[in-house]
Amino acid sequence: MMKKLLLAVLLVVPTLVTFAQRKRAAANSKAAETTTVTDSAAWRAERYVINRDSAYADPRVGLRKLMGGNRRFVEGKSIRPRQDYNTLKQLENGQAPFATIVGCSDSRVPNELIFDQGLGDLFIIRTAGQVSAAASYGSMEFATLKLKTKLIVVLGHTECGAVAAAVSNPENPPGHIVTLINDIKPAVKKSSHQMGDRVQNAVRQNVIEQVNNLRELEPILAKKFADGEILIVGAVYDIHTGKVEFIPETLNNLPQPKQKS
């Protein structure tokens, strides 16, 4: 009996060892393949990866970087860059985000996820309906002056509750909610003649109005935008598809950087 048991063990052990060796070899091969592929130009092109330093230096490149990140998100190709402990440690002494996102507080619009960015990439300001006031303006100016961030994106989204409230125009809204509604009302009025869904039309117009407001915001943003030092554009995120549409009206006739004498 003991001999049969010993023989069975001797037969099983090599199989287990072989299986473990194969598993380790497969893991090592996969790791090696990942290292090689992710460093290749083909891998970067397939996933629309754009150099982060270039995006920080040039807001037009930064805009393409956001577009590429959202395209990865929509296509299920997210690479979740710079979301590790090493990046965390590298950022201990400072930050240099390549874009400021002025977005809505809606929990369905997580900025780093939908743009597939990581730690230190995006300076984010969020309020319901992305309505801005003094604190928000100061935050944008801080990012522009102190952090040298050159791209500002006003990001609205479909099915926005704050915009829907402004469209329905309720009597005596409670608390400070009236402030949000009043700020969005001009966009509701301007878009009221448009065909289609009233809320979605107002969402889009609200972004356009906010972009124009920031472009004229004295004393810092207005001058830097006019001089081409920064870009301020608008976009709308579709909560049904995950896609971010940059609004053409906010991309046209953007100022060029002034040549240094």
The residue-averaged pLDDT of 101-118 equals 98
Domain contains 259: no
16 & 56 share domain? no
More confident residue, 170 or 7: 170
Count of domains forming the chain: 2
pLDDT of 136 over the 80 cut: yes
Nearest in space to 114 (alpha carbons), one of 72, 159, 60, 65? 72
141 & 27 share domain? no
Looking at the DSSP bridge assignments, the partners of residue 231 are 151
57 & 14 share domain? no
7: domain range? 1-39
189 & 98 share domain? yes
Per-residue pLDDT, 105:
97
| Span 151-197, pLDDT tens digits | 999 999 999 999 999 999 888 889 999 999 999 999 999 999 999 99
Residue 75, helix vs strand vs coil: helix
Domain contains 258: no
